Each structure stands twice: as structure tokens, then as C-alpha cells.
Amino acid sequence: MSSIKLDILDDKSISSGQVVEDKVTVSPADDLESQAVHVGLGKAETSLKLDKTGLPLVPQPSDDASDPLNFPQWLKVAVLLQVSFLALLGPLNQATVNPAFVPLAAHFKISTVVASYQTTIAIAFAGIGSFVWVPLANTYGRRPVLLFSTLIAAASSLGSGKALTWSQLIATRVLNGLGTSSFFTLGAGMVSDTFFLHERGRAMGIFTVFLTNSAHIAPIPGGFLGQYVSYRWCYYLPAILDFTMFVVMLFCLPETLYLRGSKPVVTDKPILRRMKLWGLRPEGKHLKVSDFFRQFIMFKYPTVLLSAFYYSVAFTLSSILPAVTSATLFHELYKFTASETGLVLGLGTLIGSTLGELLGGVVIDRSMYLSRKGKKDDEIIPEVRLQGIWVGAILQPIGLLIWGFCIQYKTAYIGPAMGFGVMCFAIQIISTVLYSYNADCYKPQTPEIAQVMNFGRQTVGMTTGFWAIAMGTKIGFQFMAVTLALVGLVSFVPIVVFMFHGKTIRDKMGAPTYNRSL
């Protein structure tokens, strides 16, 4: 079995800001995750801590009470729920107005297709902003960056509701995309900071079900607000929720950034210490210009890049495509009001995603447990998680075909609604598996991985408003669905390759050398 070398920071090197390399051979189970190594004066001793089933905890927690891995379970769940709800608010900021494109277009005297561009702009900048937030969060902490970006999201959403001209609305939507971009990436990093390997699939599943369902929940209040109050309240509501979440996090969200191997801080109130707004920057960690560029390194790893590509295509076709086309299609085909469109789109997709999560997270965690049970070397094979993706990969194009053929042949509205539900069931499984798989492969770089996936999703998704209606009108929605289903299946091919050769590819590429102590 191959082995890797692990860099260990002793107390003296940490305090001086210098790195002293003590080479310890461990099994290739994600570097820092497979062993607990305590370095003394010139000697190293290994002491494994076990979970309730007798398997080694991965990653191994330190003896520091303020280590997020040592948080009590109720606090871990509280962290998970807060960052998950924040992930929900990201697409909610962008998509609540979608059922209200008709009154929005009427107010600004534009078409409903052009009205969808303000959603497209917000999605695009939500993919760009994280390239600024992640380096800041890796240096100064997840907590202060999330609080600051949440305020930006709240203020810009309020500004969108107050916008008097189309250009003002576009400008505030740009800022809203930048503010909400941290919700997707830093939240995934905090989940990885806090939960062990055997819990991570379920925790990531909860995080992704909030993330995925947000765009499906948003049309429900958005439709009623657009029809009975004003389209402006489709922006005010997210602003209120953003600010409410800011207050909750200010008092309830601890810092989870932790440098593995750092000197424990002696305190009788470790959790309260983690609630500080500043002063938790790891010793020897300073923000450098290069930090804003090194995050692009993750694009060179095939398992990350091609997983992000498949995820981006699947998410765009399963979630964003129905969201940006429903206001136009359901109004033209079924004469639906904004509230009726919101209910059909929201309930069908919400049910599908929730059922997908009930299957996804539990199954892949169970698969990982069974793969480790009985192995003496306890080698972690992240590719085991990929076996849980098959149901999602098969159902995703089926749901797309149901949607396309039902739209083309003008069936009852329940037809395309069922297509929504099947697609969202599938994308929830796909999201949970791919987020968990890549976090297992490169745990210290989880925020950067989430950043790559978010960038891909937002970049591919932002184009949908420009071509979806036009393509379906020109070639027929049934042929559009067939074409897009084939695109999705082709983009899935690399995932199949990873199932059988992923470990070989990762061993050949090696592991990233930055943030290895996180």
C-alpha cells in the first residue's frame, strides 16, 4: 500500500511562524484525516481515538477543547442548521422574484425574458464573489466573513426593492450576488470543519438539501407577493431574512477555523472564546496576495473539476431551467397567475428534493461504514461514496424528458410538475454524493472545492435565461429535452471513470500543499 508524508507543526515552530517538517508515514487516507499524531520533543507518538463502532475517528480530534471536532453534538447541529439556512438564503435572494417576472416586466416596460436577466446577473456574481471571501475566511475566520457578507446581501436586497430604474436594479443585483456567494462555499467548509468522516455524508446532505431546495421554496412566497402585494416585496422578504440570520449568527455561530497541530489555548470557556469577532486568526497565518490565486489550484485536480462540471450541468438542467422558464411557460400554456406558478414549481420540486435527501446522505454514510468495517489498515476510499449516485444519474434525464414532452404537448400542469419533482429528487442525490466525495478526497480544501462547484453551477446556470425559451420554441421542447438529457449523460461519464480509477488519478496528482493543517 502506498504512503504519503505528513507535515507536523510543533509548538515551537507554530509560535515562531516557521514550519518544521517531521515526516511521519501514514496510510493514504486523506493526509491529516487518518492518524492522530502528537509531536513531543524529538519524538512522535500515535494515539487513535475511536467512534462508537470501534473504528478510528477521521479526522482525529486534538486534545484542545476549542477544536470544532470536540464541540458537543448539539453545538455541531446548531452550526450545521445555521450554515444550511444561510445556504438556503443564497438562491432565495436570487429566485424569490422569479414567479413575478410578469409584473416586474410590466413595471420596467420590458419582456419577461429580459426580466429574467436580473436573476441571471445575480447568479453570475454569486459564482465570482467567493474568490474573494474564501482567502479572507481562511485567514481571519469563517465567522467574521459570513457576518459581513450577510450584511451586504441584506442591504443589496433591500436596495433591489427600492430600485427606481432598470440600471439601479441590475447594480443592486450584482452586489447581492457578491454578498450571497459566501453562503455556498464557507458553509460547506464549516460542515467539514465540524463533522467526522462517518457523519459527513448526512451533514453534507442536510446542507445541500437546504441549498437545492431554496430555489424551489422561493417561488411560493414570491408568487403570492408578486400577485397580491408588489414585486418589490420579493426583494424585501430576502432582505428581512438576511438580517434576521445576521442577528442569529452574531450570537449563536462559533468560529470553526482551526489549525491542526496548533498549541491549545488554556481557557475554561472554549465555546465562548470561539464566539469572538476577531482574534482567532491562527498563529503564523497572514493574508498574502498569493492566497487569492492559490485557490485556483483546485481546478487542476480532475476529481474536483470534472465533478464540478457534471454537478453544474445537472443542477442547471434540474433546478435552474425550471425556475427561469416556469413564469413564462405556465403563464402562456395554463394562464397561471404568479401565485399559482409559485405553488406548482415550489411544491413539486420541494417534495422531490426532500425525498432525495432522505435517501442520499444516509446511504452514502452507510456505504462508507461498510467499506471500512473489518479492514485492518482502515484505508479510506472516497470513491465508495460515488456508488450512491446511480439513482440520481439515471432519474435526472428521465425527469427532464417528462418535463420537455409535457410542455411540448401541453398536457395537464401536473405533467411538467412531476418532471420537476423527479429532477429535483435526482439532483439532491447527485449534490450530496459529489460534495461528500470531494470533501473526503481533499478535506482541508473543502471551501475551495465548494468554490469550484459553486462557480461552475453559477456560471453554467446564468446562461439559462438567455437560451432556454428560445431553444425550446425553435426546435420544440421535446427535442430540447432529448438534447439536454444527452448532454447530462455525457457529462456523467467522468464520474463513472472515477468510480474505478479515482484513487489512481488522485495518487498520480498528489494532494494540495496549502491549508493542510486546517
The residue among 188, 258, 230 whose CA lies nearest residue 432 is 188
What's the pLDDT score for residue 425? 87
Which residues have a Cβ under 8 Å from the Cβ of 205 and sit 6 or more positions away? Answer: 357, 360, 361, 362, 364, 428, 432, 436
Distance between CA 456 and CA 301 in Å, rounded? 14
Residue 50 φ/ψ, nearest 5 degrees: -110, 155
CB-CB contact of 427 with 360 (8 Å): no
Do the beta carbons of residue 459 and residue 124 sit within 8 Å? yes
Chain length of the chain:
518
CA angle in degrees (0–180, nearest 5) for 192-307-360: 60
pLDDT of residue 178: 93
Q: How many CB atoms lie within 10 A of CB 113?
A: 18
Q: Which CATH number fits domain 68-259+268-509: 1.10.150.170, 1.20.1250.20, 3.40.50.2000, 1.10.10.10?
A: 1.20.1250.20
For strands 44-46 and 24-26, give the pairing.
Answer: unpaired
pLDDT at res. 198: 79
Q: Facing residues of 39 across strands? A: 44
Task: From 245, 203, 304, select the one nearest 90 (Cα to Cα).
Answer: 245
Helices of type H across 8-50: 11-16
Sign for the pseudo-dihedral over CA of 413, 104, 150, 59? positive
Closest of 253, 320, 307 to residue 432, by C-alpha: 307
Upper half-sphere CA count for residue 87 (Cβ side, 13 Å): 27
Q: What is the dihedral of CA 424, 425, 431, 432, to 10 degrees?
A: 150
pLDDT for 245 equals 96
Q: In one letter, which amino acid is 148? A: F
In contact, 114 and 78? CB cutoff 8 Å? no
Helix (H/G/I), strand (E/B), else coil: 25: strand
- Helix, strand, coil shares of the chain, percent, nearest 5, are 75, 5, 25
Predicted local distance difference test score (pLDDT) of residue 497: 96
Q: Which positions ≥6 away from 141 have C-beta within 8 Å?
A: 255, 257, 278, 280, 281
Decide: 26 and 6 in contact? Cβ < 8 Å: yes
- The CA dihedral of 189, 195, 199, 205, to the nearest 10 degrees, is -30
Helix, strand, or coil here: 21?
coil
Grouped pLDDT means (10 residues each) for the chain, 518 residues: 35 36 36 37 54 75 84 93 93 87 90 85 86 89 94 97 94 95 88 85 82 77 88 95 96 89 76 80 76 84 94 89 80 81 73 70 63 62 86 92 92 88 87 87 85 85 82 92 95 95 91 74
CATH 1.20.1250.20 location in the chain = 68-259+268-509
Q: CA-CA distance, 415 to 384, in Å (whole number)?
A: 35
